[in-house]
Structure 1
Amino acid sequence: MTTSDSTFSHRFGFRAPDAEITVREDAPPAIRDAILMLGYSLGFSPKGMRDIVCAVMLRRPDSNNWSEEPVEREVHGLVDDAPWFRIYDLAERLYQSLQQRDSYGDKPRQYEEQLNAAFCEHGIGWKMEKGQILVRGSEAFELATATAPDMMRAAGAPTASNEMHQALIDISRRPEPDVTGAIQHAMAALECVARGYEGTSGTLGSIISRLPLPKPMDEAVRKLWGFASEQGRHILEGRDPAFEEAELVVTTAAAVSVYLIRVKARTDK
């Protein structure tokens, strides 16, 4: 079978437009099929796929199935019946297996690239990065968070970098994202960056007015800080933050942090 790099669409740069993200807590048939077909196309036999699927699903292979066709039907049945979050576990395990089989080759990259294309085409709110399934947000979320942890670390703010990294882990948890944890860690990252800019140890709420934020951006950040500070109270009242609210907080905290880092680097020259 030809690789993705030699296909007509890859050579000429054609791809389906990204669909609106509508799927997070599900693995629709199109994605289950895509993961299986990618595994087969990159060299796994039905028995090899069965070994991986059974390991992920904690199921014993059917000893009555020996030839390829019955084994393939067994694999398809296991994948069709699996809980949605196990499908993304399977996607990660396949990447790991490809790395073990093709550690110096290109198959892991091909697998990740084609899987991410399928996620985008079918509106799946997940992506694979270096073999790990992480949340895929809006375009603004992707742009704001893509480089924020690295920029924080490069700017001498490792604690802020770790907090933002933890926020991204929390919002990517399966089967339920830790939206409260994501909000708290993202705002903690912004607070660390703000303290570094000010050279003080105050809370973000007390620092905001002294940060070089254009108005009314300073008031927007102040309200964001208030929203994040209220999350514990909201939980006691039985109102969990929505995923979209957490995405907004993480996006804004990352963007404002990067802005402050860039302003400080410019003024320090």
Structure 2
Amino acid sequence: MDLFSRRQGLGHPDAEIKIRNDAPQEVRDAAVQIAYQCGLKPSNIRTLLCQILFRAPDKNNWSEFSNINSEVRELADDCEWYEVDDLIEKLADECAYSGQDYGAEVNRFFRVAGVGWQLIGNRVDMSGTEIFEVAIRQGQTTVRQQKRITAASELSRRPQPETTGAIKYAMAALECVARDVTGSKDTRGQLVQRNVGIFPLPIDQIVEKAWGYTSNYGRHLTEGQPPQFEEAELMVGLSGVLCRYLSQRAPGKSQ
């Protein structure tokens, strides 16, 4: 529906991200309610929830409202936080069959509620600050255009609860592009030293230190000192910017 607030470009500002590895009641309720707005019936949603939880529908519930709806709410409450994201993906696919854009409304709710996820192509993906998102999108676009498929794949791995992996894959993408641009087989520690000018001064020092950081936290994790999400977000964003920079300096090269 083309509501007044949307026609006038009015709405709540994006909230600070506060929900990542959790699915509080407001998220569970919104996932179901938005599906109803898109035309799904409680019985449709119950089927999806039963698939996720390996449950059988309650045969004693036959009326959509309020019996099956109550069952849906109970099943949604039984889901782990990540199973709620599974449900959201299933609901997005289900709504797409009837031409309904479930994702647009879910993303609007996520932004207002401060949920650190977003639906992209009916799949739940990590979201972050605007600068972080722009860096990743531009970096992916550039390396894909130049057919650097391996680098694009590594860069697409967003920060997950396992933050060390996010750091490792982000910097692996940068190493992949740097090797391709220079034609070198050097390891990451030698790439900058042996290819003077690959990055402008003193950015080269930042890159060397970033690779050193990756070695400490992305590969050789210190017991009891896992990197924080914000640190993983920083490294992934930095990798996206630098991958784009390198790729733009060497157009036409392919992996």
**What TM-score, normalized by structure 2, do the two folds share?**
0.91
> 1:158-197 to 2 correspondence within 5 Å?
158-165=149-156, 167-168=157-158, 171-172=159-160, 177-197=161-181
Show the counterpart of 2:61. 65
Show the counterpart of 1:121. 112
Cα shift at 1:15: 2.1
Cα shift at 1:186: 1.1
Which SS does the other structure have where 1:20 is aligned?
A: coil
- Deviation string 1:197-240 (CA, Å, 9 cap, x unpaired) is 212111222122424423322211111100101233224x3422
- Deviation string 1:157-187 (CA, Å, 9 cap, x unpaired) is 222112212x23xx24xxxx23222211111
User: Does the aligned pair in 2 maintain the 1:194–1:211 contact within 8 Å?
Assistant: no
Cα shift at 1:130: 0.4
Task: Please give the alpha-carbon distance, in whole angstroms, between the structure 1 residues aligned to 2:57 and 2:4.
Answer: 38
1:202 and 2:186 matched: yes
- Deviation string 1:239-261 (CA, Å, 9 cap, x unpaired) is 22222211111110111111111
Show the counterpart of 2:212. 226
Cα shift at 1:72: 0.8
Show the counterpart of 2:131. 140
Which SS does the other structure have where 2:221 is aligned?
A: helix
| Residue from 36, 50, 70 that aligns with 1:40 | 36
Show the counterpart of 2:244. 258
| Residue from 186, 199, 214 that aligns with 2:200 | 214
1:111 and 2:111 matched: no
Cα shift at 1:129: 0.2
Cα shift at 1:31: 1.6
1:151 and 2:142 matched: yes
Q: Which residue type is aligned with residue 218 of structure 1?
A: D
1:248 and 2:234 matched: yes
**What TM-score, normalized by structure 1, do the two folds share?**
0.86
Q: Is the deviation greater in 180-189 or in 148-157? A: 148-157
Q: Which residue type is aligned with residue 226 of structure 1?
A: G
User: Does the aligned pair in 1 maintain the 2:188–2:211 contact within 8 Å?
Assistant: yes
1:80 and 2:77 matched: yes
Give the CA RMSD over aligned residues. 1.8
Cα shift at 1:144: 0.7
Q: Which residue type is aligned with residue 127 of structure 1?
A: Q
**For the structure 1 residues 156 and 44, does the alpha-carbon distance in structure 2 shift closer, same or farther, using more than 3 Å as the test?**
closer
User: Does the aligned pair in 2 maintain the 1:198–1:211 contact within 8 Å?
Assistant: no
Task: Please give the alpha-carbon distance, in whole angstroms, between the structure 1 residues aligned to 2:45 and 2:74.
Answer: 12
Q: Which residue type is aligned with residue 77 of structure 1?
A: E
Count of matched residue pairs = 248
Larger relative contact order, structure 1 or 2 (CA cutoff 8 Å, min sep 6): 2
